[in-house]
Amino acid sequence: MKKEIFKSLKKGLTVVLATTWVATAASAAGFLSFGHPEVGGSGCADETVSYSFDYELNALNIEFDGYVSITKGKTIKRVTCNMAIPVSVPAGMQVGIVVQTLDFSSYLSSNVRGRIGFEYFLAGGVGNPVSIDLPTGHIFGSIGNEEIIWSGCGEDVNLRLNTSILLRNSSPSSRRSWAWVEIGPEIVISAVVKSCGPNNGIFEIK
C-alpha cells in the first residue's frame, strides 16, 4: 500500500487514503451546527484559521493561512495545530463526523525526512492517528480517514482535531539540505445525521 502511495506522490498526483464514505442519511443542514473553533499550537494562530459550512455537501471546510514548517540549519523541527470545535446536536439526533481530506504540499531534499499526521476524536474519547511519510521532491496531495465517530443521542460535543508536521534533517549544515511542508489550503470534515430509535437503537433518516 505504501509503495503505491509513494509512486503516486512522485508523479504529482493527489493521494487520498481511505476516504470512501457513502452517507445515506438525510442532510445535516438544519439539524446541527458547528461553533467557532478554538485554535492553538506552534503551527497556527486563531487569526490564521477560517472556516465555513457547505450545506449541500454537509461539510465543514477549515482553511489555513501559513501553516508551514521549514527546516534549514535545524536537525529536527515539529509544528502542530490543534483545534476544538463545538458541535450542537438536537435532542433525539446523533451526528457522525469524519475527516474526509487534509490537503498538503511539500518539498524535501534528499537528506530530509518528513511526516504529516492528524487524529480526531470527540472530547473524552480516543483518536485513531493517521500519518504519511513524505518522499523527496516537490509534491501535492491529501490524506483522509474513513472512520466515522458518533456523538451520543442529543449530546452536544467538542470535536478535537490535532495535526502535526515533523521534519528531520540529517545534514543541517549543508545549504542544499532543507525542506518545507505546508498543511492546507483546507481540511474538509464531513457530517451525517441519524435519529435515535427506541431502546437506544439507531436508524438512518431516509
Domain ranges of the chain: 33-198
**pLDDT per residue as tens digits for the range 59-71:** 888 888 888 888 8
Q: What is the reported pLDDT for 64? A: 87
The bridge status of strand 33-34 relative to strand 76-88 is: antiparallel
If we measure between CA atoms, which residue out of 191, 193, 186, 194 comes closest to residue 83?
186
pLDDT at 197: 65
Residue 138 has pLDDT above 80, yes or no: yes
pLDDT at 17: 33
Residue 128 CB-half CA count within 13 A: 8
Q: Tell me how far apart the alpha carbons of residues 203 and 127 are, in angstroms, rounded to a whole number.
A: 25
pTM (2 d.p.): 0.76
Give the pLDDT of residue 15.
35
Please compute the mean of the pLDDT values over residues 25-54 and round it to a whole number. 74
CA distance 190 to 61: 9
Other residues' Cβ atoms within 10 Å of the Cβ of residue 94: 22
Tell me how far apart the alpha carbons of residues 20 and 4 are, in angstroms, rounded to a whole number: 17
Between 5 and 55, residue with greater pLDDT:
55
pLDDT at 202 over 50: no
Please, which residues have CB within 8 angstroms of residue 95's CB and are 6 or more apart in sequence?
28, 31, 32, 87, 89, 150, 151, 157, 191, 192, 193, 194
**Residue with cell string 492546507:** 184
Rounded to an integer, what distance in angstroms lies between the CA atom of residue 103 and that of residue 101? Answer: 6
pLDDT digits (tens, 9 = 90+) for 66-116: 888 888 767 888 889 999 989 888 888 888 888 988 999 988 888 888 999
